[in-house]
Structure 1
């Protein structure tokens, strides 16, 4: 069974096309379940739309949910359309986000850390003047945030858990015990992580997380799922079969998707 739980669309301001185009692309590729998971608004900000090129406006969120629900009905019998959202994790605003999400019938919520100390994880300039010790501390803060997101109970999936390497591949070489400790914590919290194939669109190439992290995730009993992180319809389910084969080589026997916040296990 082919599925893809991580897709975006034009509301976020940096993806192309309406939701329906992603659904149609999924049908063409034989996908059985397509998750729509655009970037959550910045609910903790006083302005309705503080970052138009990053996430949708808060006032647009209900329209987003309603559109996905309408398309879920329209395409029933052809493909299962799942209502998701990729949520930023800001500990200081967690309760506000939690309250808003409780109003809607989500199939799953992806929790992603996109900022560390107020700076985007994709900002390659942050590394230029740091000492080796400071680089290690930055990586540890990143995984501390991911650990907090796992413990929050807000999320079904943790998104791209080593995406900080996207424009700084040397990130993977920074040695710290924080990575393994975080994977252990994720396993204890029984949260799934995604294999996200959008790394191929960045300097680092490949996918998130790297194979060595997946091996450790398996050791700690972490469940896995799949997300292309498509920002254009053509990338829906991108590298799905490749990822499936690699997971089997590593030793995984199943992966999962979600329906009504319940995990559905699928044999690899």
Structure 2
């Protein structure tokens, strides 16, 4: 029986890297026994000059309102069968906080996920650019990444950190303790930011969830909360590997996850989900 019944990381047809219709995502959620989902399309690329912005991994800024309306139509269509939240996965790029603020305040979001996909001009998690890992000392890479992630947390704009240890995606791992990682967790504690348990890592070369068990245990010891997301870019990945996620959270000592509504977090203990089938 599936106990985790909220998937808050799902992309949309308006993201150029996602396939399928909204309804296909919703129907797969119902098939998997989910009770609540959140669409979290990639935010507009506010940090790039307009002529360089691409749909490849973002909702164009001029389509943001349409994206919101489309999800609101789904909320009405599936009312009583499935709770559907309106979220956004927002790339944080230092030095563009003023532009970021416009995205944050563009709508009364249910939640905002913090992501870091770029180090400078390098989209480090894109397989097309994997060769640039050779240009870095791996420990320096993780150090830089966690410094940027901490800055994002400290804006106070976000509700949860998506795929916390993303640079491990292709199997690259630090060879020593990275103090900056703990600094991010402490910043999450100060700012009340949750961690997302992202199951997409099980579908990537690294073969494990984001974040690792060790990081989850550290987060638990700091009293941080968690939400769960599949990072689905196609309907068949909605709610995928949630059984593994339940086991991982239990091993880390978590007994609850959080739900989101209008930027408010609602903790729900696992046993309250036992009505999900």
Structure 1 distance, partners of 2:179, 2:232, is 31
Q: Does 1:95 align with 2:101?
A: no
* Residue 236 (structure 1) aligns with: 238
Q: CA, structure 1 residues 100+177, in 2 after alignment: closer, same or farther (shift >3 Å)?
A: closer
Match of 2:39 among 36, 58, 63: 36
- SS at structure 2 position matched to 1:171: coil
- Indicate if the aligned counterparts of 2:90 and 2:114 stay in contact, CA closer than 8 A: yes
For normalisation by structure 2, the TM-score amounts to: 0.90
1:91-240 equivalences under 5 Å are: 91-122=94-125, 123-130=129-136, 134-167=137-170, 169-240=171-242
Residue 263 of structure 2 is aligned to residue 261 of structure 1: yes
Select the structure with the greater relative contact order (CA < 8 A; seq sep ≥ 6): 2
Identify unmatched segments of 5+ residues in structure 2: 271-277
Task: Tell me how large the CA RMSD over aligned residues is.
Answer: 1.6
Q: 1 CA distance for matches of 2:189 and 2:82? A: 31
Q: 1:173: Cα distance to partner?
A: 3.5
Partner of 2:275: none
Shift of 1:172: 4.3
Distance of 2:204 and 2:250 partners within structure 1 = 25
| Residue aligning to 2:251 | 249
Distance 1:25 1:94, change over 3 A: same
Following superposition, the deviation at residue 49 of structure 1 comes to 6.8
Q: Report what 1:58 is aligned to.
A: 61
In the alignment, is the contact (CA less than 8 A) between 2:116 and 2:149 conserved in 1? yes
| Residue in structure 2 matched with residue 69 of structure 1 by the alignment | 72
Instruction: Report deviation, 1:48.
Output: 6.4
Cα distance in 1 for residues equivalent to 2:113 and 2:70: 19
CA distance in 2, matches of 1:225, 1:173: 28
> Is the partner of 2:23 in helix, strand or coil?
helix
CA distance in 2, matches of 1:139, 1:219: 22
Relative to structure 1, is the Cα distance of residues 148 and 124 closer, same or farther in structure 2, using a 3 angstrom cutoff?
same
String of CA shifts for 1:109-168, please: whole Å, max 9, x gaps: 1010011122112142222143xxx3322211100111111110111111101011111x
1:9: Cα distance to partner?
2.0
Contact 1:87 1:112 in 2 (8 A): yes
Distance 1:178 1:145 in 2: 10
TM-score, normalised via structure 1 length: 0.93
With over 3 angstroms needed to count, the CA separation of the structure-2 counterparts of 1:24 and 1:49, relative to structure 1, is farther
SS in 2 for 1:257: strand
Structure 1: any 5+ residue segments left out of the alignment? none
Pairing partner for 2:22 from 13, 19, 30: 19
Q: In the comparison of the two structures, how many residue pairs are matched?
A: 264
The answer to whether the Cα contact below 8 Å between 2:139 and 2:174 also exists between their aligned partners in 1 is no
